[in-house]
Amino acid sequence: MSGGGADWNGTEMGLEEKLPSGFMLSTVEGAAGYARKNSMWTVTFGLACCAIEMMATGAGRYDLARFGMEVFRPSPRQADLMIVAGRVSQKMAPVVRQVYDQMPNPKWVISMGACSSSGGMFNNYAIVQGVDHVIPVDIYLPGCPPRPEQLMDAILKLHAEVQEEKLGSNRVKQIAEEEKEALVAVPTIDQRGLLR
């Protein structure tokens, strides 16, 4: 993927004009986000049919290497991203959690396909009704299974979020704000319609 200023979260402060050409300014957050999103390594977590599409996405036709993501790590300790691809059975749930816990921070999760996002059509006792019951999910990806373009779309949306991520005290502030919002949000038991 072509790099360049356009992708940077550069805050224009009027300093750019005064610098010799070839220099670029950004915040530390912008630089960190840029670095993080462009070398995101994925932990192997194919659970069902979605995994086939995920493999296809990594292969030549779709070529995840364009986003610096060709490495699917069997070791969670070298991974940043977990793509949960397929239905999570109750028995698999602790495994998912353990692998997630072994990943170093910062880490992200894409829930790929209907089953891992909500249980999909397997609304039964054997399947976890959404992997977000077990681990926090950053991007939900509908589809059964989603085609590689959809997975790439999800990855790019995640990249955009990673780019925006805050650091240090800003991060602490952001977390506090999100916590506050979550506390006043409608609890699931009070939600109506399909959200229930």
Partner 1 sequence: MSTTSHEATGSDTPTVKMITGTIDGTDVTVPEGTMIIRAAELMGVEVPRFCDHPLLDPVAACRACLVEVEGMPKPQPSCAVPLGDGMTVQTQLTSEVADTAQKGVMEFLLINHPLDCPVCDKGGECPLQNQAMSVGRPESRFTGQKREFPKPINVSSEILLDRERCVSCARCTRFAEQIAGDPFIALLERGAQQQVGTGEEPFDSYFSGNTIQICPVGALTSEEYRFRSRPFDLVSVPTTCEHCASGCSMRTDYRHENVMRRQSGDDPEVNEEWNCDKGRFAFPYLQLERLATPLVRENGQLRRASWPEALRIAADGLAAARGRTSVLTGGRLTMEDAYAYARFARVGLGTDDIDLRARAASDEETDFLSGEVAGSCGPVYRELESAPAVLLAALEPEEESPIIYLRLRKAARAGTKVFSLGPFASQGLEKMAGSLVECVPGDLATQLDQLDDETAAALSQPGAVILLGERAATEPGAFAAMSRLVQRTGAEWAWVPRRAGERGAIDAGCLPGLLPGGRPLTDETARQEIASLWGIDPDELPATAGRSLAATVAQIHADAKAASEAGEEEEFSPELAALLVAGVEPDDIPNADQFLTALDSVPFLVSLETRPSEVTARADVVLPVAVVTEKSGAFVTWEGRRRPFGTVMPQPTSFTDAVVLALLSDYMDLATPPREVDDLRTELGNLGAWQGSRVSPADVPAGSAQQPGSGEAVLASWRYLLDLGTMQEGEPHLAGTRKPAVVRISAATAAANGVEAGSRVRVSTDTGAITLPVELTEMAENVVWLPLNSPDSQVLVSLGALPGDTVRLERGDV
Partner 2 sequence: MAELPPALSGFWVTFSTMFKKVNTEQYPEEKDKYPPEPRFHGRHQLNRHPDGLEKCIGCELCAWACPADAILVQGADNSTDQRFSPGERYGRVYQINYLRCIFCGLCIEACPTRALTMTHDYELADNSREKLIYEKEDLLGPLTQNMVSAPHEMVPGTTEKDYYEGKITEATPEQRAEVAARTDEESEAVR
**Interface with partner 2 by CB under 8 A: which residues?**
60-63, 66, 110, 114, 117-121, 123, 130, 132, 138-144, 146-150, 152-154, 156-157, 161, 193-195
Which does residue 120 touch among partner 1, partner 2, none (CB within 5 to 8 A, set by kind)? Answer: partner 2
| End-to-end Cα distance, the chain | 41
Q: Which is nearer to partner 1, 91 or 196 (CB)?
A: 196
Q: What are phi and psi of 191, to 5 degrees?
A: -75, 150
**Residue 161 interacts with which of partner 2, partner 1, none, CB < 5 to 8 Å by class:** partner 2
Within 10 angstroms of residue 176's Cβ, the number of other Cβ atoms is 10
193 binds partner 1 (CB under 8 A): yes
For 60-94, give the secondary structure using H, E and C: CCCCHHHHCCCCEECCHHHCCEEEEECCCECCCHH
Q: Site for partner 1 (CB under 8 A): how many residues?
A: 3
Q: Nearer to partner 1 by C-beta: 18 or 192?
A: 192
| Residue 164 binds which entry of partner 1, partner 2, none, CB below 5-8 Å type-dependent | none
Q: CB-wise, 28 or 195, nearer to partner 1? A: 195
192 lies in the binding site for partner 1 (CB under 8 A): yes
> Tokens 């036709």 — which residue?
61
Nearer to partner 1, 91 or 192 (CB): 192
Q: Taking contact as CB under 8 A, which single stretch among the options 15-23, 24-32, 157-165, 188-196 is the one that binds partner 1?
A: 188-196
Task: Output 6 or 186, the one with its CB closest to partner 1.
Answer: 186
Contact 20, 158 (CB under 8 A): no
Query: Which of the choices partner 1, partner 2, none does residue 157 contact, using the CB cut-off of 5 to 8 A by kind?
Result: partner 2
Site for partner 1, rule CB under 8 A: 192-193, 196
